[in-house]
Amino acid sequence: MATDIVAKATEVLQPISGRSIEEILTSYPDDRSLSTKILDHPEDFQNTFMLAHEHKIKVDGLDIRSCHNIQDPKSNSVVHLFIHGLGGNIWQFEPLFRLLDLKGKLFFAIDLPGFGKSDELEEYPMSKVVRIIRSSLHTVTDSRELVIVGHSMGCHLAIHFYTQFQKHETINNLILFAPASPNLPQLNYLSTRVLLFLLFKMPFFFDFYRAWFDQSKGLQSSGIKQFFYKGATYQRLSQFHNNVQIKSRSVVGYLRGWEQIDWTHLKLTSKIEVIAGDKDPITPLEVVEKFYTMLGVTPQKKFYVLKDCSHNICFDQPVEAVDTFNKIISSQD
């Protein structure tokens, strides 16, 4: 049973287009034209909460889109730092942002370089990406006390952040949604490296494949079918609106820049919560369980499984996801 604050954080907000959800749903037929029509009215997938908290910041010469509710840069309050996954952006965490804002807690997130509305990089080594995340955070706050929330690839970035900066930041918690496989040895195969190099240099081949053989399927495309098990149609449309804007070069770049976690020497002293969906084909339950085991022995470690939930946890089962997140952060008070 959802509490009032969870219900408020997960209700669908009125899009700034002024059109009702029903009007929006009927205006986008699920056919081959969806991938182009869905870009005609971006205001159908924007709301005042997110726009009010969006800010463009400059980091290392890059324009980075951030989303946060930090008003006092000198505040020492705990900041919840969000890190999205491959092809994601700040919008995927919207209900969690709204929950934290309702509870008077601070949050901060960016579109990772190359995704959303953030500038691209020449290359995407994970160690460089986490430095950009940290630099972005400290353009708006001096606080060194963090709770890090990651999703999928973002869970790996969260651990790299921890290992690089644990001496400079106080990291109270790692909250990890649908973490990607703990090891991806296939990324080191010569054939894989050659293919990724070619796609990185000539991303139009990947663009062509995505446009003509996947996104032409609309809401039956892989980026929707594999990310949702039960999610409402509006959430699926919103995800599809984001999917068709993902840069192929960035996706390939992050795979090329993937840095394996040194599990042998990893020592985590923060509290850790891992949350998985039992219907997730991207990071199946057995993969997440292996990731959880690889985290080793820590002072406090918990594992949560959300029923009938796929990879886009916050929009496939928003009430259950936010309720679980609320219980975790409430236990910190």
Tell me the C-alpha distance between 61 and 138, whole Å.
15
Tell me the C-alpha distance between 125 and 256, whole Å.
8
Is 152 a residue of the active site? Answer: yes
Select which of 66, 152, 221, 270 is catalytic.
152
C-alpha triplet 248, 253, 256: angle, nearest 5°: 135
In this predicted structure, the answer to whether residue 299 has a pLDDT above a threshold of 80 is: no
Q: How many domains does the chain fold into?
A: 1
- Residue-wise pLDDT for 67-101, tens only, equals 999 999 998 899 999 999 999 999 999 999 999 99
Q: Is residue 254 within 8 Å of 196, Cβ to Cβ?
A: no
267 confidence band (pLDDT: 50, 70, 90): very high
Expressed as residue numbers, the domain containing 319 is 4-330
Tell me the C-alpha distance between 85 and 65, whole Å.
15
In this predicted structure, the answer to whether residue 332 has a pLDDT above a threshold of 80 is: no
In this predicted structure, the answer to whether residue 65 has a pLDDT above a threshold of 90 is: yes
- Rounded (10°) angle between helices 318-330 and 94-102: 40
230 confidence band (pLDDT: 50, 70, 90): confident
* CATH of residue 181: 3.40.50.1820
Mean pLDDT value across the chain: 96
In this predicted structure, the answer to whether residue 135 has a pLDDT above a threshold of 50 is: yes
306 confidence band (pLDDT: 50, 70, 90): very high
In this predicted structure, the answer to whether residue 1 has a pLDDT above a threshold of 60 is: no
In this predicted structure, the answer to whether residue 58 has a pLDDT above a threshold of 90 is: yes
52 confidence band (pLDDT: 50, 70, 90): very high
Query: Which pLDDT score is estimated for 2?
Result: 60
Residues 6+ apart with CB under 8 A from 303: 273, 274, 276, 289, 292
Q: Is residue 313 within 8 Å of 227, Cβ to Cβ?
A: no
- Residue-wise pLDDT for 183-199, tens only, equals 999 999 999 999 999 99
* Mean pLDDT score, 223-250: 96
Structure tokens at 323: 């309720």
Q: Is residue 223 within 8 Å of 240, Cβ to Cβ?
A: yes
298 confidence band (pLDDT: 50, 70, 90): confident
60 confidence band (pLDDT: 50, 70, 90): very high
